[in-house]
Amino acid sequence: MENFEPEIVAFCCHYCAYTAADMAGSKRISYPSNVKIIRVPCTGKVDAIHIMKALEKGADGVYVAGCLEGDCHFKTGNTRAAHRVVQVQKILEDLGWEKERVAMITMSAGMGERFAETALEFTEKIRNLGPSPVKQNKTITQAVS
């Protein structure tokens, strides 16, 4: 689709990805404005329903950005989030959607460049996939048929 600008929701852990986004900003490293950040205290607080709701509301892609393995301030929040992302990917596959519309990413607070690169790469990936089936006038349930 020409001129398609994907809407991306990024659930970002306060301790890492959100701080990395801040660092990218302070270093004047730009990233696509397509990415709308939702700060969470830990990615362990992001449930599958939050990801599904974002997709239902029209996000073309959603990613969860948490602390590096072993660095979660709540011990296992990031591994639980990664597990939920896999669960949502399976649901999307069952619905006939591309599972790549959802991803789990990890980084440290100091990785401003990685935050920007990730935002750019994910935006391009979703741009190539095209608009979400919801935007093609299909609800999540209609997308099943």
84 counts as binding ligand FES under rule CB under 6 A: no
Closer Cβ to ligand FES, 55 or 67, answer by number: 67
Closer Cβ to ligand FES, 24 or 42, answer by number: 42
Contact letters for ligand FES, residues 35-74 (x by CB under 6 A): -------xxx---------------------xx----xxx
82 counts as binding ligand FES under rule CB under 6 A: no
Which residues does 53 contact at the CB level (< 8 Å), separation at least 6?
Answer: none
Residue 27 backbone phi and psi in degrees, to 5 = -90, 5
78 counts as binding ligand FES under rule CB under 6 A: yes
**Integer Cα distance of 62 and 60 in angstroms:** 7
Closer Cβ to ligand FES, 69 or 93, answer by number: 69
Which residues does 23 contact at the CB level (< 8 Å), separation at least 6?
Answer: 109, 110, 111, 112, 115
Angle value at C-alpha 60, between 41 and 66, nearest 5 degrees: 25
Q: How far is the CB of 65 from ligand FES (least distance, A)?
A: 8
Q: Which residue from 127, 87, 81 is spatially nearest to 106, judged by alpha carbons?
A: 81
* Binds ligand FES by CB under 6 A, chosen from 12, 16, 23, 111: 16
User: How many residues of this chain bind ligand FES (CB under 6 A)?
Assistant: 13
Determine contact, residues 85/104, Cβ cutoff 8 Å.
yes
Give the residues lining the site for ligand FES (CB under 6 A).
13, 15-16, 42-44, 66-67, 72-74, 77-78
